[in-house]
């Protein structure tokens, strides 16, 4: 299976280079093309492509060229990627990213659907070290530790994708994964 993926990538890269794409230095699954003042970025996830461009004509040309090598299925404008909803407003020239469904799924998974929302994701100045007077001395069972880790991991994904406002809280709380 690993070899098949490697061979697919090599073939994809070969074809995209024939079409004058360059490989991103930051991520080898990102290819880009600049044609005058037009640009196109193609992100590949196995055999799924996400195309971002400032030119509909360049997008159409590229899809036609790719279709000569692969059978493409055009799913239209992107509105969902990696659990993130994407809303584009061409008139206002804005893109909004959201994870409402993912967050609701996390809340339901951990029985917190009825939790009260709060503006501050973490109490300012709180001390969470084990010897702190506000921390319970009761040790968690292994299953409870696992649940805590799963909660933190789920929220870290939110912090890195669409919710930077909780990044500090997640960073702080992740320091206590062994002894929450």
- Write out the DSSP string of 9-69: HHHHHHHHHHTT-EE-SS-TTEEEEEETTEEEEEEEETTEEEEEES-HHHHHHHHHHHHTT
Bridge partners of 170? Answer: none
Residue 94 token pair = 């804005």
Quick: pLDDT tens for 40-88: 999 988 778 889 899 889 999 999 999 999 888 888 888 888 889 999 8
155-169: per-residue pLDDT in tens?
Answer: 999 999 999 988 988
Helix then strand then coil, in percent of the chain rounded to 5, is 40, 20, 40
| Token digits of residue 69 | 């090598």
Tell me the mean pLDDT in the region 87-105: 90
What percent of the chain has a predicted confidence (pLDDT) above 70? 98
Q: Does 18 score more than 70 pLDDT? A: yes
pLDDT band at 152 (very low <50, low <70, confident <90, very high): very high
pLDDT of residue 25: 94
pLDDT surpasses 70 at 1: no
Structure letter (DSSP) for residue 166? G
**Cα separation, 64 vs 9, whole angstroms:** 20
The mean pLDDT value for 135-139 works out to 75
Whether this model's pTM surpasses 0.85: no
Mean confidence (pLDDT) of the chain: 87
Confidence (pLDDT) at 65: 94
Does position 2 have pLDDT exceeding 70, yes or no? no
């Amino acid at each position: 299976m690993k070899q098949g993926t490697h061979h697919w990538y090599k073939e994809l890269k070969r074809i995209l280079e024939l079409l004058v794409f360059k490989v991103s230095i930051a991520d080898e699954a990102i290819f880009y093309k600049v044609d005058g003042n037009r640009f196109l970025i193609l992100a590949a996830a196995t055999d799924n492509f996400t195309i971002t461009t400032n030119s509909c004509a360049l997008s159409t040309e590229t899809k036609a060229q790719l279709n000569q090598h692969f059978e493409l299925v055009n799913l239209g404008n992107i509105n969902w990627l990696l659990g993130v909803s994407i809303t584009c407003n061409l008139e206002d020239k804005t893109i909004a990213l959201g994870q409402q469904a993912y967050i609701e799924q996390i809340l339901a998974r951990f029985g917190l659907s009825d939790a009260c929302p709060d503006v501050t994701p973490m109490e300012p100045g709180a001390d969470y070290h084990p010897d702190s007077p506000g921390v319970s001395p009761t040790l968690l069972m292994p299953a409870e530790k696992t649940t805590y880790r799963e909660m933190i991991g789920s929220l870290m994904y939110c912090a890195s994708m669409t919710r930077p406002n909780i990044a500090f809280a997640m960073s702080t709380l992740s320091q206590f994964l062994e002894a929450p």
